[in-house]
A and B are shown apart, each in its own frame.
Chain A
Amino acid sequence: MPPKVSLKKLARKGGLFDGVKSNIHALAIGVKYLVDPQRSTLLYPKEYIEHRPGYRGFIVFVKEKCISCAACSRICPSAAMKMVRVTEIDPKHPDKPRQKQYPVINYQRCIFCGFCVDVCPTEALYHVPFHDIVYENLADMFMTLEQFQVEPQRPAVSEGLPVVYEVDEGKGLVKRRRG
């Protein structure tokens, strides 16, 4: 059935009865939630959200899979992914050092769009499913090649317990502890 336009009329209410009734409605619903708030607030450091595997969080680099094609850094919309040239020892020819280029990431700019992960032809990049790391210095946010290969530690893990959120028909989002 195709969409259609429907003209609606606003029910303009007036009169003392309606006024009193809607006041009572508003107060009653306030009291209802005052008594039973049905809340699902995340008590953050004590609890943290365990995101699904597909969540686009910080990015980790697997050097072994990289073929130095630079597709990730070409597609990066904010020029956060840069290539560095590295001279390293080729395992097949230990005597002949080879030139390769690897990506490094600048979290000052990264927008976590996931283009680099999606464009990588060998799956050398992957997301870790969290996003809550903060820095006190700008310089720390430019990952070196070594830092880029290490999965970052989520600070909340040592402080709290994981929870997941589920949709409930009556209460909206409800949080459920894992384990």
Chain B
Amino acid sequence: MVLDLILYIIAYPPLWQVLILGFAGSLAIAMVAIWFERKAAARVQRRIGPYWASPALGGFLNIIADMVRYVLQQLIIPGTVDRLVFYFAPIAAFTISILPVIFIPLSPKPEFWPVATMDYSLLIALALSTLPPLLVIAAGWSSNNKFAVIGSMRESYVITAYELVAVVSILSASASLLTFNLVYIVEAQQPFKWLAILNPIAFLAAILAVLMSTSAFPFEIPESEHEVVAGPFTEYSGALYAFNMGGAYVRRFVYALLIALVFLGGWAPYVPGPGPITGYIIPSLIVVFKAVIVVLFISFLRAVYGRYRLDQALGAAWRLAIPLAIIGFGWSLFLAYIGVFH
């Protein structure tokens, strides 16, 4: 009986999906994102980028080398930090960054993704994805370092500015589709009634929110190295810093998944069929592909833009992005009124 329980737990789909696809997949995609960020920036900047670690793979192993080096480096815990929070915050931030993946369906079939077919999946995923920045603030605060404190203060300013934008712009999908269920949201966009096309304003606002929340360029303000060194992570070294850095990329990927489902039509125009291949693997690959495109676009912006000043970024959020999000919300109500999706 115990064996059955263990087997059940091991075979419980959400668990291995989160463990394998969520953890390993997110990590792999974070690594691809870092690699692409470095290589794309290098291309725009007319140089090679990472190369000699594996010339055939375009230096991809270099990212693994960086990761291994970080994980196995000496871990310095300064004497003045608040130890519990210092250890706990980056690990928790990383874990919570991955959690929303449970509620983001990569397939409409309940047998492959049972949790995600619940009716509030979008709400829960959104709610979870807004949590990690709080832990980043905690990490900065516990470091007892002036730059870290300034960095986490900036992070808190930025959170308050972008959170509303993210929630309003992404929930505008619910307004026009009258559901919080991500599977319904995707199915309603079949085949090409994508919200990014029908409601570009909300899409733009959502992209802005993602840029701000994951501190991507041009909103890389909390970690803006030329004033506040590494921002909240100034005192972090070794594996804990790797958690911090990986967490940011995982968060970016999770947001990209949400955007891919909500605005870019998820697995549409593909109609999932029965069986694990047509019902699970192909749709999830389509979703991941769309999400990777979003991530790579965000990474590419690093090569083109500098960073805004804090007050300008906040101004952009409050004066530009929030009105945009509200207009997008209103537009989606209008879409619901004229019944585009029904």
A contact set with B: CB distance below 8 Å: 26-27, 29-30, 33-34, 37-41, 43
Binds A, one of B7-15, B43-51, B78-86: B43-51
Tell whether, in the assembled complex, residue A33 and residue B43 are in contact, meaning their CB atoms are under 8 Å apart.
yes
Given A26-B304, A26-B305, residue A33 in contact with residue B51 (CB < 8 A): no
B contact set with A: CB distance below 8 Å: 40, 42-48, 51, 300, 303-305
Report how far A38 CA is from B304 CA in the complex, Å: 17
For B48, list chain A residues within 8 Å (CB). 39, 41, 43
For A33, list chain B residues within 8 Å (CB). 43-46
Q: Which 5 A-B pairs have the closest CB atoms?
A: A30-B304, A39-B46, A37-B43, A33-B44, A41-B48
Expressed in whole angstroms, the minimum distance between the Cβ of A37 and any Cβ of chain B is: 4
| Closest residue on chain B to residue A32 by CB atoms | B44
Expressed in whole angstroms, the minimum distance between the Cβ of B40 and any Cβ of chain A is: 6
Expressed in whole angstroms, the minimum distance between the Cβ of A17 and any Cβ of chain B is: 16
Expressed in whole angstroms, the minimum distance between the Cβ of B312 and any Cβ of chain A is: 13
| Closest residue on chain B to residue A172 by CB atoms | B46
Tell whether, in the assembled complex, residue A34 and residue B46 are in contact, meaning their CB atoms are under 8 Å apart.
no
Tell whether, in the assembled complex, residue A34 and residue B300 are in contact, meaning their CB atoms are under 8 Å apart.
yes
| Closest residue on chain B to residue A171 by CB atoms | B46
For B304, list chain A residues within 8 Å (CB). 26-27, 29-30
Tell whether, in the assembled complex, residue B44 and residue A41 are in contact, meaning their CB atoms are under 8 Å apart.
no
Report how far A40 CA is from B42 CA in the complex, Å: 12
For A39, list chain B residues within 8 Å (CB). 43, 46-48
Tell whether, in the assembled complex, residue A30 and residue B47 are in contact, meaning their CB atoms are under 8 Å apart.
no
Given A27-B304, A30-B300, A43-B51, residue A38 in contact with residue B40 (CB < 8 A): no
| Closest residue on chain A to residue B51 by CB atoms | A43
Number of A-B contacts (CB under 8 A): 33
Tell whether, in the assembled complex, residue B40 and residue A34 are in contact, meaning their CB atoms are under 8 Å apart.
yes
Expressed in whole angstroms, the minimum distance between the Cβ of B129 and any Cβ of chain A is: 27
For A37, list chain B residues within 8 Å (CB). 42-44, 46-47
Extra A-B contacts (5), CB below 8 Å, given A30-B304, A34-B44, A37-B42: A27-B304, A29-B304, A30-B303, A37-B47, A39-B48
Expressed in whole angstroms, the minimum distance between the Cβ of A170 and any Cβ of chain B is: 13
| Closest residue on chain B to residue A36 by CB atoms | B43
For B43, list chain A residues within 8 Å (CB). 33-34, 37, 39
| Closest residue on chain A to residue B304 by CB atoms | A30
Report how far A34 CA is from B304 CA in the complex, Å: 11
Expressed in whole angstroms, the minimum distance between the Cβ of B331 and any Cβ of chain A is: 19
For B305, list chain A residues within 8 Å (CB). 26
**Looking at B40, B48, B300, B304, which has the most chain A CB atoms within 10 Å of its CB?**
B304
Tell whether, in the assembled complex, residue A38 and residue B300 are in contact, meaning their CB atoms are under 8 Å apart.
no
Expressed in whole angstroms, the minimum distance between the Cβ of B183 and any Cβ of chain A is: 34
For B46, list chain A residues within 8 Å (CB). 33, 37-41
| Closest residue on chain A to residue B40 by CB atoms | A34
Report how far A33 CA is from B48 CA in the complex, Å: 13
| Closest residue on chain B to residue A35 by CB atoms | B43
Tell whether, in the assembled complex, residue B44 and residue A30 are in contact, meaning their CB atoms are under 8 Å apart.
yes
For A38, list chain B residues within 8 Å (CB). 46
Tell whether, in the assembled complex, residue B47 and residue A41 are in contact, meaning their CB atoms are under 8 Å apart.
yes
Report how far A27 CA is from B305 CA in the complex, Å: 9
Report how far A37 CA is from B303 CA in the complex, Å: 13
For A43, list chain B residues within 8 Å (CB). 48, 51
Report how far A43 CA is from B51 CA in the complex, Å: 9
For B42, list chain A residues within 8 Å (CB). 37
Report how far A30 CA is from B297 CA in the complex, Å: 12
Report how far A41 CA is from B300 CA in the complex, Å: 21
| Closest residue on chain A to residue B47 by CB atoms | A41
| Closest residue on chain B to residue A44 by CB atoms | B52
For B40, list chain A residues within 8 Å (CB). 34
For B303, list chain A residues within 8 Å (CB). 30, 34
For B47, list chain A residues within 8 Å (CB). 37, 39, 41
Expressed in whole angstroms, the minimum distance between the Cβ of B170 and any Cβ of chain A is: 24
Expressed in whole angstroms, the minimum distance between the Cβ of B58 and any Cβ of chain A is: 13
For A40, list chain B residues within 8 Å (CB). 46
Expressed in whole angstroms, the minimum distance between the Cβ of B42 and any Cβ of chain A is: 8
Report how far A69 CA is from B300 CA in the complex, Å: 62
**Looking at B46, B300, B303, which has the most chain A CB atoms within 10 Å of its CB?**
B46
| Closest residue on chain B to residue A27 by CB atoms | B304
For A29, list chain B residues within 8 Å (CB). 304
Expressed in whole angstroms, the minimum distance between the Cβ of A154 and any Cβ of chain B is: 20
